[in-house]
Chain A
Amino acid sequence: MNSEEAQAAGSATASGALASLHPPDDLLGVARAAGRGDSDAAATLVSELGGGMLRVVRKVMGHQHPDVDDVTQDAVLALLGSLETFRGACSVEYFARRIALLTALGARRRAKVRQREAEAEGGAIDEFPGDELSPLATTVASRRRVLVRRLLDDLPEVIAEALALHFILDHTVEEIAEAAAVPANTVWSRLRLGKLALRRKLEQDAPLAEMLRGTSR
Chain B
Amino acid sequence: MTGDDCRSELLVTARRGRLSDAGRLALDAHLGACASCRLSYDVSADFDAADVVDLHDGARIRALADRARRRGGRSGRAPVSLRAVGAAAALVIFCGSASAAVWWWHRPAPSPTAAARPSSAPQPESTVKRLRGTAVAVVTSVAPQTAASRSPEAPARPRTARAASRAAVETVPAGPAAAASILRQATEARQRGERARAAELYHRLQREFPASAEAALSAIPLGGLLLDDGLPRAALTEFDGYLTRARGGALIPEALYGRARALARLGDRAEERRTWMRLCADFPDSAYAPLGRHRLAEIE
- Given A52-B95, A215-B155, A43-B115 contact (CB < 8 Å): no
Q: What CA separation (Å) do A20 and B61 show in the bound complex?
A: 29
Which residues of the partner chain B approach A142 to less than 8 Å between Cβ atoms?
46
In the complex, B113 has a CB within 8 A of chain A: yes
Query: Which residue of chain A has the shortest Cβ distance to B152 in the bound complex?
Result: A215
Counting chain B residues whose Cβ lies within 8 A of the other chain, the interface size class is 35 or more
In the complex, A29 has a CB within 8 A of chain B: yes
In the complex, B43 has a CB within 8 A of chain A: yes
> Which residues A181-217 have CB closer than 8 A to chain B?
188, 191-193, 195-196, 198-199, 214-217
In the complex, A119 has a CB within 8 A of chain B: no
Interface contact B47-A168, CB-CB below 8 Å: yes
Minimum C-beta distance from B165 to chain A (A): 15
Counting chain A residues whose Cβ lies within 8 A of the other chain, the interface size class is 35 or more
Interface contact B39-A198, CB-CB below 8 Å: yes
Which residues of the partner chain A approach B39 to less than 8 Å between Cβ atoms?
195, 198-199
Interface contact A58-B69, CB-CB below 8 Å: no
Within the complex, which residue of A39, A134, A148, A166 is in contact with B69, where a contact is CB–CB below 8 Å?
A39
- Given A26-B261, A51-B89, A132-B143, A188-B7 contact (CB < 8 Å): yes
Interface contact B290-A44, CB-CB below 8 Å: yes
> Which residues B215-232 have CB closer than 8 A to chain A?
227-228, 230
Interface contact A145-B47, CB-CB below 8 Å: yes
C-beta contact mask, A133-145 vs B, less than 8 Å → 1, else 0?
1101110111011
In the complex, B57 has a CB within 8 A of chain A: yes
> Which residues B127-145 have CB closer than 8 A to chain A?
139-140, 142-144
Interface-central residue, B49, B88, B139, by most chain A CB under 10 Å? B49
Minimum C-beta distance from A16 to chain B (A): 16
- Given A48-B92, A54-B61, A130-B43 contact (CB < 8 Å): no
Which residues of the partner chain B approach A87 to less than 8 Å between Cβ atoms?
none
Per CB-CB distance, the 8 closest pairs between chain A and chain B, nearest first, are A39-B72, A51-B93, A130-B143, A43-B69, A44-B290, A130-B140, A42-B68, A133-B147
Beyond the given A30-B294, A40-B290, A44-B65, could you list 9 further A-B residue pairs with CB under 8 A, ordered by the A residue number? A42-B72, A51-B57, A136-B152, A141-B45, A141-B49, A148-B47, A166-B40, A170-B44, A198-B43
- Residues of A at the B interface (CB closer than 8 Å) are 23-24, 26-27, 29-30, 33-34, 37-48, 50-52, 54-55, 58-59, 63, 69, 72-73, 76-77, 80, 126, 128, 130-134, 136-138, 140-142, 144-145, 148, 166-168, 170-173, 188, 191-193, 195-196, 198-199, 214-217
- Residues of B at the A interface (CB closer than 8 Å) are 4-5, 7, 9, 12, 15-16, 35-36, 39-40, 42-47, 49-54, 57, 60-62, 64-74, 88-89, 92-95, 113, 115, 139-140, 142-144, 146-147, 149-153, 155, 193, 227-228, 230, 261, 264-265, 287-288, 290-291, 293-295, 298
Cβ contacts A to B, 28 pairs, < 8 Å: A30-B294, A37-B73, A38-B72, A39-B69, A40-B72, A40-B74, A40-B290, A42-B72, A45-B68, A48-B92, A50-B61, A50-B65, A51-B53, A51-B61, A58-B52, A77-B71, A131-B115, A132-B147, A136-B150, A136-B151, A137-B149, A141-B50, A144-B46, A145-B50, A148-B43, A188-B7, A195-B4, A196-B4
